[in-house]
């Protein structure tokens, strides 16, 4: 059996690793025979030299095999999962899951909590009183069969290698590697057991991936991995140069999602929800044509069935549905951020708006940190809109322990007022798969 040091040296020299060599690294790190220093060295070598497709597939398979997988065969009907690579104001799952479920597709959604400048779906749902993100396996299957969708936290028994390795990647500045990102995402999605997967790959200043070329590489690699594992996969490259919708913050984003589910809400959030939903619906096989899928989803928003499905999900997961019809956000205080000049609003660093929301109390600085569900901010203006000096650009919802000075400083750096009109940017760049 090859020595660990030899495997590290081989990758450091840019040579390809066998599936067995990758298994030795992954399994050894889990059982302790590969030290943290050795794994850090291997991760850095991967960042320098990369992995080819076959190596990335072997890594994905090794991580997938490190834990349990979810057996969804007892759930009737087509099962399609949805994943987002994360961005500022991304509350898409709150709309897409009930919307697609109301069309007859089963949507088993495992989500995470927020850390840093991006919010987590589970934190948003936790702003609903009583909502439980923890379901026993038996209850999860029951909810999936009766309601058609559930949004829960990921079991620690699924892909434990990824959790341990990701913590080290975060410490060693080895997160930004396309093969490592692809294998991390796809091992978790494959373990979750759905028949097909739709990936929302966000690109821009408010996303983890800023460059569209890199985003396309990631999307194509993940779609290829899905195909190799006999799991039909599509990826949608979406624009994150400005917040999705207008709200950033947990209860604020629930409010916005509820508006879309009731047939109103921000146009970009509604359009992207339908775009992701149509890919899920066509992959399920229930609808063949994209145009037909869009028509089905539009009608489900307009006739209230998508909103009713959301209420069913909340009720099934012990949430209080009585608050949904008259949803209220009640921060400690509110202030307005106003325009300092005339012109056209431009977002130059959307990520900083996520950090502004964090400073207002909406985010956590550590895994165990507290958040204020009612804190955050709401865009009164979107990119390219005409503004006059003194106009309200952003409503600030100030929470407990907020640092308003820091939040305002982030906003100062995140936006600017242009003298010339801005070109309109697409919401969706392309669909891959």
- Residues annotated catalytic, as ranges: 83, 162, 169, 184, 188
In the block, residue with structure tokens 């999705």: 244
Structure tokens of 39? 């794994």
Q: How many residues does the chain have?
A: 433
Give the Cα separation of 258 and 260 in Å (integer): 5
Work out the end-to-end distance of the chain between its first and last CA atoms, rounded to an integer number of angstroms: 38
Phi, psi at residue 432, to the nearest 5°?
-115, 130
DSSP state of 336: E
Give the Cα separation of 79 and 326 in Å (integer): 32
Q: Taking Cα atoms as reference points, which of 166, 148, 82, 105 lies closest to residue 313? A: 148
Residue 276 · residue 198 · CB < 8 Å: yes
Structure tokens of 336? 């307005």
Residue 79 · residue 280 · CB < 8 Å: no
Element (H, E) at 407: helix 404-414
In the block, residue with structure tokens 């009183």: 129
How many C-beta neighbours within 10 Å does residue 291 have?
10
How many C-beta neighbours within 10 Å does residue 251 have?
25
Give the Cα separation of 217 and 416 in Å (integer): 31
Residue 378 · residue 270 · CB < 8 Å: no
């Amino acid at each position: 059996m090859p020595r660990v040091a030899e495997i590290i040296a081989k990758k450091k020299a840019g040579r390809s690793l066998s599936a067995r060599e990758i298994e030795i690294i992954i399994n050894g790190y889990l059982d302790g025979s590969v030290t943290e220093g050795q794994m850090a060295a291997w991760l850095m070598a991967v960042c320098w030299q990369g992995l080819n497709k076959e190596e990335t597939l072997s890594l994905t398979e090794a991580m997938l095999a490190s834990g349990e997988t979810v057996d969804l065969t007892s759930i009737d009907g087509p099962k399609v999962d949805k994943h987002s690579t994360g961005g500022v104001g991304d509350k898409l799952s709150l709309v897409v899951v009930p919307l697609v479920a109301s069309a007859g597709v089963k949507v088993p959604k495992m989500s995470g909590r927020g850390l840093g400048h991006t919010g987590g779906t589970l934190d948003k749902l936790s702003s609903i009183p009583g909502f439980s993100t923890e379901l026993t396996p038996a209850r999860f299957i029951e909810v999936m069969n009766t309601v058609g969708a559930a949004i829960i936290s990921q079991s620690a028994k699924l892909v434990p290698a990824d959790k341990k390795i990701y913590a080290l990647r975060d410490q060693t500045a080895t997160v930004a590697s396309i093969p490592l990102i692809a294998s991390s995402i796809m091992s978790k999605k494959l373990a979750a057991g759905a028949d097909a997967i739709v990936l929302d790959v966000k690109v821009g200043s408010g996303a983890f991936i800023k460059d569209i070329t890199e985003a396309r590489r990631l999307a194509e690699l993940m779609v290829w991995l899905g195909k190799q594992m006999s799991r039909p996969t599509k990826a949608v490259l979406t624009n994150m140069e400005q917040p999705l919708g207008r709200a950033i913050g947990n209860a604020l984003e629930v409010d916005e999602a509820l508006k879309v589910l009731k047939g109103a809400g921000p146009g970009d959030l509604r359009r992207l929800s339908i775009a992701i939903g149509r890919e899920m619906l066509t992959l399920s096989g229930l609808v063949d044509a994209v145009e037909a899928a869009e028509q089905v989803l539009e009608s489900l928003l307009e006739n209230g069935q998508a909103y009713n499905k959301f209420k069913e999900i909340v009720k099934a997961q012990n949430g209080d549905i009585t608050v949904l019809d008259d949803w209220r956000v009640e921060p400690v205080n509110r202030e307005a951020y106003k325009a300092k000049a005339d012109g056209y609003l431009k977002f130059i660093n959307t990520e900083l708006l996520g950090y502004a929301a964090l400073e207002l109390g909406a985010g956590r600085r550590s895994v165990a940190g507290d958040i204020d569900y009612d804190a955050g901010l709401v865009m009164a203006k979107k990119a390219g809109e005409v503004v006059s000096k003194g106009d309200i650009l952003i409503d600030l919802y100030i929470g407990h322990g907020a640092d308003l000075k820091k939040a305002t400083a982030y906003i100062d750096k995140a936006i600017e007022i242009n003298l010339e009109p801005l070109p309109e940017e697409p919401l969706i760049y392309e669909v891959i798969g």
